[in-house]
């Protein structure tokens, strides 16, 4: 596809990088000439310097031939205007980042009136992601499929768990038949395991499970489940606001620590039920006074990555809480991955993921559609949900006769509301939703699970 990206900030760059990897033709527009020069010499894309919401600049970037324009500058108004102009000038699909809560409340109206195909709000997406994790406290990561009925949950194998030292093949007999391990992360390795893989304590494993069996499975594998009743949020950013709003609705007590007193007043006005503390979240005394040791969950959401990491490390030391760390710029992921900072949330990647999922789904009008897509383990693994079309190459063939790619696992078939862990005798049928986990990137159709040739 021909894609124009307006704004080359964190999200713009991440998008350009990942979409370029998927083989799309990218034109990026930014006001800053130096930024454009850097990005065009590291990625195989073309850059245009100028105001992305100007008609002339958009024409120069080839909006008349573009299939999609994504506006991700830091200003909502510019994004919306850029999309409006692109819609009129090029009649392409448009995606805008709209992050101001005020606009976001009326996003449906804006989307309809501006003809946006998709609007994204990284802060809201991050907050929603955190809220999901809070609801399943033991999960390090949680991705849902089939409209939330199936989850792919990442947990650490606890010491003394039945899973420690077990062969995957033996799990159904010894532990329970609903447990399918899809990804094993051991130190720096990522494995899409087969039956002979032996689990060890300390591995991070991703298990596919139906929502209703979740607590049962946790009990079996020895992961403690204690519902979260209160949360301490460091930093009163927009994410904190959205998160507090979601959690207050499900009766979790929320405490927000924010440095800026004006922001505190504002927060207390819009979140009357939350307790807002005006203080420095990096001050140990403040944290202890506000009961960091007793918190069920702690989310480090300040603007500084370094502060968030340190805060989470401290929280890990002094409390038993579930920890969530927001990191904007994941550099040095090798180091961060080893530190006990709990679940890592990266708004920029969430946004890129959402957009790529949209593009993959749109790209494929025949055969099978990508319904959901997640990039996991630092973009090394993709988990995809396909809606299987009526004429796909893979249907009505027993799975044992399909030549699947290596490092690919067909982990779940969702048919007429029932969830099935597939075995060799099962077949894929039209209308199924199939969930696949793989280290291959850029799968666009269910037939891509087959070995080429």
Residues that bind other proteins (CB under 8 A): 2, 20, 25-27, 33, 40-46, 49
Which of 25, 164 has the CB closer to other proteins? 25
Which of 44, 106 has the CB closer to other proteins? 44
User: Which residues share a beta bridge with 46?
Assistant: 27
Which of 265, 380 has the CB closer to other proteins? 380
Q: How far is the CB of 153 from other proteins (least distance, A)?
A: 34
Q: How far is the CB of 47 from other proteins (least distance, A)?
A: 8
Which of 10, 220 has the CB closer to other proteins? 10
Which of 27, 349 has the CB closer to other proteins? 27
The answer to whether 136 and 210 have CB atoms below 8 angstroms apart is no
423 phi and psi, to 5 degrees? -120, 180
Beta strands in 67-166 (DSSP E): 68-71, 93-97, 118-120, 141-145, 150-156
Torsion of CA 38, 42, 47, 52, to 10 degrees: -70
Token output for 174: 């010894």
Continuous segment of H or E residues that includes residue 28: strand 25-30
Angle subtended by helix axes 122-135 and 238-249, to nearest 10: 40
Tell me the CB-side half-sphere exposure of residue 213, using CA atoms within 13 A. Answer: 18
Beta strands in 264-415 (DSSP E): 275-278, 297-300, 322-326, 343-345, 369-376, 381-387, 408-415
Return all residues near 131 (Cβ < 8 A) that are at least 6 apart: 243, 246, 247, 250
Which of 44, 105 has the CB closer to other proteins? 44
Q: How far is the CB of 39 from other proteins (least distance, A)?
A: 9
In 3D space, the residue among 196, 161, 132, 176 whose CA is nearest the CA of residue 421 turns out to be 176
63 phi and psi, to 5 degrees? -65, -25
Which of 86, 309 has the CB closer to other proteins? 86
Q: How far is CA 130 from CA 48, 337, 379, in A?
A: 36, 18, 19
Tell me the CB-side half-sphere exposure of residue 71, using CA atoms within 13 A. Answer: 33
Which of 26, 221 has the CB closer to other proteins? 26
CA–CA gap between residue 205 and residue 200 (Å, rounded): 10
Which of 58, 161 has the CB closer to other proteins? 58
Q: How far is the CB of 38 from other proteins (least distance, A)?
A: 11
Give every strand in the sheet of 253-258, ordered side by side. 275-278, 253-258, 230-234, 297-300, 322-326, 343-345
73 phi and psi, to 5 degrees? -75, 175
Count other C-beta atoms under 10 Å from residue 290's C-beta. Answer: 18
Q: How far is the CB of 10 from other proteins (least distance, A)?
A: 18
Count other C-beta atoms under 10 Å from residue 255's C-beta. Answer: 19
Q: How far is the CB of 378 from other proteins (least distance, A)?
A: 19
Which of 40, 268 has the CB closer to other proteins? 40
Q: How far is the CB of 83 from other proteins (least distance, A)?
A: 20
Q: How far is the CB of 43 from other proteins (least distance, A)?
A: 4
Which of 42, 250 has the CB closer to other proteins? 42
Q: Is 40 helix (H, G, I), strand (E, B) or coil?
A: helix
Which of 173, 331 has the CB closer to other proteins? 331
Block residue for tokens 């037939």? 447
CA–CA gap between residue 104 and residue 120 (Å, rounded): 9
125 phi and psi, to 5 degrees? -60, -40
């Amino acid at each position: 596809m021909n894609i124009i990206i307006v704004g080359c900030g964190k999200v713009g760059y991440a998008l350009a990088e990942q979409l370029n990897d998927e083989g799309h033709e990218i034109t990026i527009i930014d006001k800053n000439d130096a930024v454009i020069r850097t990005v065009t010499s590291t990625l195989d894309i073309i850059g245009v310097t100028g105001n992305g919401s100007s008609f002339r600049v958009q024409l120069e970037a080839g909006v008349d031939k573009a299939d999609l324009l994504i506006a991700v500058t830091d200003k909502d108004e510019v994004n919306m205007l850029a999309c409006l102009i692109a819609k009129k000038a090029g009649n392409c699909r448009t995606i805008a980042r709209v992050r101001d809560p005020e606009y976001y409340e009326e996003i449906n109206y804006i989307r309809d009136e501006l003809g946006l195909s998709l609007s994204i709000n990284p802060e809201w997406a991050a907050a929603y992601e955190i809220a999901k994790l809070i609801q399943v406290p033991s999960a390090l990561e949680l991705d849902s499929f089939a409209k939330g009925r199936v989850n792919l949950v990442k947990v650490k194998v606890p010491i003394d768990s039945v899973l420690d030292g077990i062969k995957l093949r033996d799990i159904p007999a010894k532990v329970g038949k609903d447990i399918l391990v899809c990804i094993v992360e051991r130190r720096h390795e990522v494995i899409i395991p087969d039956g002979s893989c032996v689990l060890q304590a300390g591995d991070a494993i991703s298990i596919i499970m139906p929502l209703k069996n979740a607590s049962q499975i946790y009990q079996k594998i020895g992961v403690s489940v204690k519902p979260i009743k209160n949360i301490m949020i460091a930093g009163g950013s927009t994410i904190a606001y959205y998160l507090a709003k979601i959690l207050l609705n499900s009766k979790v007590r929320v405490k927000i620590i924010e440095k800026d007193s004006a922001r505190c007043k504002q927060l207390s006005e819009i979140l009357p039920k939350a307790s807002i503390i005006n203080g420095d979240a990096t001050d140990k005394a403040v944290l202890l006074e506000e009961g960091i040791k007793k918190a069920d969950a702690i989310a480090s959401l300040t603007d500084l990555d370094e502060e968030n990491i340190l805060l989470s490390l401290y929280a890990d030391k002094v409390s038993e809480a579930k920890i969530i760390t927001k990191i904007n710029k994941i550099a040095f992921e090798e180091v961060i991955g080893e530190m006990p900072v709990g679940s890592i949330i990266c708004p920029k990647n969430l946004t890129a993921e959402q957009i790529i999922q949209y593009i993959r789904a749109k790209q494929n009008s025949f055969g099978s559609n990508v319904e959901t897509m997640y990039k996991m383990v630092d973009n090394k693994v993709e988990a995809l949900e396909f809606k299987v079309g009526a004429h796909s190459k893979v249907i009505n063939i027993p799975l044992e006769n399909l030549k699947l790619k290596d490092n690919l696992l067909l982990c779940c078939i969702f048919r007429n509301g029932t969830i099935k862990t597939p075995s060799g005798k099962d077949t894929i049928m039209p209308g199924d939703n199939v969930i696949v986990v793989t280290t291959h990137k850029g799968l666009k159709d269910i037939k891509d699970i087959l070995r080429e040739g």
